[in-house]
Structure 1
Amino acid sequence: MLRVGLSGGIGSGKSTVAARLVELGAVLIDADRLAREVVEPGSPGLAELVERFGPQIRTADGALDRPALARVAFADEQARADLNAITHPKIGELTAQRMAQAPADAVVVHDVPLLVENDYAANYHLVIIVDAPEEERVRRLTGRGLDAADARARIRAQATDEQRREAADVWLDNTGPVEDLIAEVDRLWFDRLVPYERGVRERQRPPRKPPVLAEPDPEWPRTARRLGARVLRAAGAAGLRIDHVGSTSVPGFPAKDVIDLQLSVRSLAGADAIAEALADAGFPADDGIQRDNPHPFDPEPEHWLKRYHNSADPGRPVNLHVRVHGGPGWRVALLLRDWLRAEPEARADYLAVKRELAARHDTPEAYAAAKEPWFPAALPKAQEWADRTNWTPPQD
C-alpha cells in the first residue's frame, strides 16, 4: 500500500486532483468527510460536544449546528483545545480504520486540508501539494459566492507557500487550464505512484540510473529534511538522529541527483529490528552492501559494518545508510561532509575525480567501485583538518 497525502490552500484545485486520482484507481480518504461523520446525529462524538459546549449546538432535528458550535468553540484557546481533544482522536481512529480496509496494493490518497498546519507530512510515502496564485484562488472563491476580503482572510490563515514547499514531494501548479492539471496527474499516477506502490509492496528499489553529475540543486537540503523526517518516524525510538551526508549535502557541489541519509542507531541488532518498518515507509533494505570501506586493512573490520536501504520511489533516489552512532563509518560520513563543506581545495579535488569517473563508467556500480580508493586517500587530510579546527561530530 502507498499512502499519499494530498493538500493545498483553499481554492487551489485540490478537489479536482482528488477526483482524477479516484478515476485512475486511487482509494480516497477525505478528512473533511470523516470530520463530519464523527459528529453525525446519534454519534458519541456529537454527544461529547453537547456535553462540553451545551445543547445549543444541536439543531431541533438532532444534527450539529456548526455556526453555533463555532461561536462557542472558537471563543478562546481552551474551548478550541477541548473541541480538538474530542474530535481529533475520533477522526484519527476512523482514518486508521479506512486505511486498514484498503486493499494491500492500493494507492490510498488522504485528502487533508490542514496537512501542513498539523505537521502530518512524515506520515505518508509521498505528499502532493496543489497550488495556484493567490489572485486566481480569490477569483475562484468569489465565483463560489465568497466575499473577496473573506477569501483573502481564509487564504492567509492557512500555511504559507514556503511551509507547503517544505512538505511537498510533488508540487502541482494549477494556474492554467484544467486539462493541463489532469494531464500532470495522469503522468504522476502512471510514472510514479503506481510503480512506487509496487516497490513498497515488493520491497524493491527502481533500477539505478547512469552516473550523471547534476548541477547543484537548492532543493536537495529541503528534500533531505523531508525524507529524514519520514525515516525517523519509521525508526521510532531506535532512531537516534538523521543526517544529510554525501555529495548532495555539500552546498554548491555538483553531484548525482541522489540523496544520501545517515540514520544513527544504537546497534546493528537495532538496525535489523527496524528494517521492516523502514521498508514499510518506502525504504527497502539492499542486502548487497553491508560494509563501509575507507579502511580496508582495519584490524577490526566488523566496526565498519552497516545496514543499507534504498528508496522505492522512482521519482526520488535515496541511499539510506544505517550506522551505529559513534562508530567509525558513522564518524567518517560526517567528517568528510563537513570537511568538503569547509575546504574549497578538497571539493575541487573530489569533483575532478567524480567527473573523470562519471565520464568513464556507465553504471552506478562501476562508478561507485572506481571512486572507493579516493576515500582512504582523502581521510588523513580530512582528519588533519578536524584536528586543526577542533571538529567534533554533531551529537544532539
Structure 2
Amino acid sequence: MLRIGLTGGIGAGKSTVAKRLAELGAVIVDADRLAREVVAPGTDGLAEIVTAFGDRMLTAEGTLDRPAMGELVFADAAARARLNEIVHPRVAARTAELLAQAAPDAIVVHDVPLLVENGLAAGYHLVVVVHADEAVRVQRLRRDRAMTEEAVRARIASQATEAARRAAADVWLDNDGSTSQTRAAVDLLWTSRIEPFAHNLRTNTPAMTARSAATGFDPNRAVRAGRLIARLRSELGGYDEQIVAIEHVGATSVPGVAAPDVLELMLTVVSAEAAENLTAPLSSAGFPPVTREPDTAEPSESEVSGARLHRSADPGAPADLYVVVAGSAGS
C-alpha cells in the first residue's frame, strides 16, 4: 500500500489536487473530515471538548461552534494543545480503521493540512506539497470564503513557512495557474511517478534508474537524504535494538563534490540475523532488496563490500541503501 501525504497552506488549492487524485483511483483519507466526524454531536470527542472548554463551545443546536473554537485556539497555544490531545488520537484511530478497509494494493492519499506543522512527513512514502503565491491565496480566500485580507494573512502567517514545506516535500506542485493546468500536472505525477512507485512497492521491485554521469554539487541532496533517513527510522521503529546507525554516505554526502544523482545510504545493524530480519520492513518502507544474477549485475557507483543492497522503489528519487553488520569490512 503506497501512502502519500498531501498538504499545502490555506488557499493553495490542495482540494483540487485531492479531487483529481481521487478521480484517478486514489483512496483519500481527509484529516479535516475525520476531525469533524470525531467531534460530531453524540461523540465522546465532543463531550470531552465541552468538559475541557465549557458549553460556550456549542452552538444552539448542540454542535461544535467551530468559529468560536478556532478563535480560541488560534490565540491560545495551551488551548490548541489541549484540543489536539482530544482530536488527534481519535483521528488516528479512525484513519487506522479506513486503512484496514482499503485494498492491500491501494494508493492511499492522506489529505493533511498541518502535515508539516505536526511533523508527520516521515510517516508517508511520498509527500506532495501544493503551493501558490501568497497574493494568489489571498485573492482566492477573499473570493471563495469571504475572508478579509487581514484574516487570510494572519492564517498564512500561523502556518508552516514555505522553506519548511520545501524541506518536507518530495513533490512540489505549483498551483498559481488554472484548474486545468493543475489537473494536468497531477495526471503527469500519477503516470510518471505514483503508479510506477505503487507497482514497485506491490511487486517488491527496485526502481531501475539509469546511472547518470557526475553532476555538480547539489546542497539539496543532504535534505533529500535526511527525508529518506527519517522515513526509514519511522518504518523501522520496532527494530531499534537491531540498528546501530542510518547514515548518508558516498560521494553525494560530501559537500562540494560532484556525483551521480543517486543518493547512497548505509544502515548498520548488530548482526547478519538483524539484516535478514529487516528485509521485509525495508521493502515496506520502499527499499526492496536488489537481487543480481551473474553477468547481469548492475553495480552501484561505489559498491560497499559485504553489504546487502536495497534500492528505492520510487522512480523519482534514485537511492541505494547498503545494509552492513557492525564491525564488518563494509561498516
Same fold (TM over 0.5): yes
Note the residue ranges of structure 1 that are not aligned, 5 or more in a row: 297-303, 331-396
- What residue in structure 1 maps to residue 189 of structure 2? 188
Q: What is the one-letter code of the residue matched to 1:282? A: G
Question: How far, CA to CA, are the matches of 2:74 and 2:98 in structure 1?
Answer: 29
- What residue in structure 1 maps to residue 89 of structure 2? 89
Higher helix share: 1
- Structure 1 counterpart SS, 2:257: coil
Question: How far, CA to CA, are the matches of 1:65 and 1:94 in structure 2?
Answer: 22
- 1:246 positional shift: 1.1
Q: Residues 70 and 213 from structure 1, CA distance in 2 versus in 1: closer, same or farther, beyond 3 angstroms?
A: closer
Q: Residues 325 and 166 from structure 1, CA distance in 2 versus in 1: closer, same or farther, beyond 3 angstroms?
A: farther
- Structure 1, residues 279-306: CA drift from partner, whole Å, max 9, x if none? 11111112439x99x999xxxxxxx533
- 1:129 positional shift: 0.4
- What residue in structure 1 maps to residue 168 of structure 2? 167
Q: Residues 76 and 218 from structure 1, CA distance in 2 versus in 1: closer, same or farther, beyond 3 angstroms?
A: closer
User: 5 Å matches for 1:12-91?
Assistant: 12-70=12-70, 76-91=76-91
Query: 192-201 or 203-212, which moves further after superposition?
Result: 203-212
Question: How far, CA to CA, are the matches of 1:103 and 1:226 in structure 2?
Answer: 27
Structure number with bigger Rg: 1
Q: Is the 8 A contact 1:268 1:307 kept in 2?
A: no
Question: Under a length normalisation based on structure 1, what TM-score does the superposition of the two structures give?
Answer: 0.76
- 1:72 positional shift: 5.3
- Structure 1, residues 173-197: CA drift from partner, whole Å, max 9, x if none? 1122222221111010011101101
Residue number among 246, 271, 278 corresponding to 1:274 in the alignment? 278
Question: How far, CA to CA, are the matches of 1:221 and 1:200 in structure 2?
Answer: 24
- What residue in structure 2 maps to residue 258 of structure 1? 262
- Structure 1 counterpart SS, 2:236: helix
1:284 equivalenced with 2:288 (yes/no): yes
Query: 106-115 or 209-218, which moves further after superposition?
Result: 209-218
Query: 311-320 or 271-280, which moves further after superposition?
Result: 271-280
Question: How far, CA to CA, are the matches of 1:283 and 1:219 in structure 2?
Answer: 21
Q: What is the one-letter code of the residue matched to 1:3? A: R
Q: Residues 277 and 87 from structure 1, CA distance in 2 versus in 1: closer, same or farther, beyond 3 angstroms?
A: same
Equivalent pairs: percent with the same residue? 50
Query: 137-146 or 60-69, which moves further after superposition?
Result: 60-69
- Structure 2 counterpart SS, 1:94: helix
- Structure 1, residues 299-320: CA drift from partner, whole Å, max 9, x if none? xxxxx53322110011111100
Question: How far, CA to CA, are the matches of 2:74 and 2:224 in structure 1?
Answer: 36
- Structure 1, residues 33-83: CA drift from partner, whole Å, max 9, x if none? 000000011111111212222233223332112234345556644433322
- 1:267 positional shift: 1.8
- Structure 1, residues 59-117: CA drift from partner, whole Å, max 9, x if none? 33321122343455566444333221111100111111112211112111101000001
Q: Residues 152 and 56 from structure 1, CA distance in 2 versus in 1: closer, same or farther, beyond 3 angstroms?
A: closer
Q: Residues 195 and 177 from structure 1, CA distance in 2 versus in 1: closer, same or farther, beyond 3 angstroms?
A: same
Question: How far, CA to CA, are the matches of 1:76 and 1:188 in structure 2?
Answer: 39
Q: CA RMSD in A?
A: 2.3
Q: Residues 77 and 141 from structure 1, CA distance in 2 versus in 1: closer, same or farther, beyond 3 angstroms?
A: closer
1:9 equivalenced with 2:13 (yes/no): no
Q: Is the 8 A contact 2:129 2:171 kept in 1?
A: yes
Q: Residues 295 and 70 from structure 1, CA distance in 2 versus in 1: closer, same or farther, beyond 3 angstroms?
A: closer
Question: Under a length normalisation based on structure 2, what TM-score does the superposition of the two structures give?
Answer: 0.90
Q: Is the 8 A contact 1:53 1:72 kept in 2?
A: no
Question: How far, CA to CA, are the matches of 1:161 and 1:268 in structure 2?
Answer: 43
Question: How far, CA to CA, are the matches of 1:295 and 1:150 in structure 2?
Answer: 55
Note the residue ranges of structure 2 that are not aligned, 5 or more in a row: none
Q: What is the one-letter code of the residue matched to 2:226? A: R
Q: Residues 129 and 73 from structure 1, CA distance in 2 versus in 1: closer, same or farther, beyond 3 angstroms?
A: closer
Number of residues of Structure 1 aligned to a counterpart in Structure 2? 321
Q: What is the one-letter code of the residue matched to 2:106? A: A
- Structure 2 counterpart SS, 1:36: helix
Q: Is the 8 A contact 1:232 1:241 kept in 2?
A: no
- What residue in structure 2 maps to residue 147 of structure 1? 148
- 1:323 positional shift: 1.7
Question: How far, CA to CA, are the matches of 2:171 and 2:148 in structure 1?
Answer: 31
Q: Is the 8 A contact 2:209 2:315 kept in 1?
A: no
Q: Is the 8 A contact 2:311 2:319 kept in 1?
A: yes
- What residue in structure 1 maps to residue 318 of structure 2? 317
Q: Residues 210 and 75 from structure 1, CA distance in 2 versus in 1: closer, same or farther, beyond 3 angstroms?
A: closer
Q: What is the one-letter code of the residue matched to 2:195? A: V
Q: Is the 8 A contact 1:4 1:107 kept in 2?
A: yes
Question: How far, CA to CA, are the matches of 1:110 and 1:154 in structure 2?
Answer: 22
- Structure 1, residues 215-245: CA drift from partner, whole Å, max 9, x if none? 3323211111111111111222133332111
Q: Is the 8 A contact 1:275 1:284 kept in 2?
A: yes
Q: What is the one-letter code of the residue matched to 2:253? A: S
- Structure 1, residues 360-394: CA drift from partner, whole Å, max 9, x if none? xxxxxxxxxxxxxxxxxxxxxxxxxxxxxxxxxxx
Q: Is the 8 A contact 2:306 2:329 kept in 1?
A: no
Question: How far, CA to CA, are the matches of 1:73 and 1:135 in structure 2?
Answer: 25
Q: What is the one-letter code of the residue matched to 1:140? A: R
Q: Is the 8 A contact 2:269 2:325 kept in 1?
A: yes
Question: How far, CA to CA, are the matches of 1:138 and 1:71 in structure 2?
Answer: 19
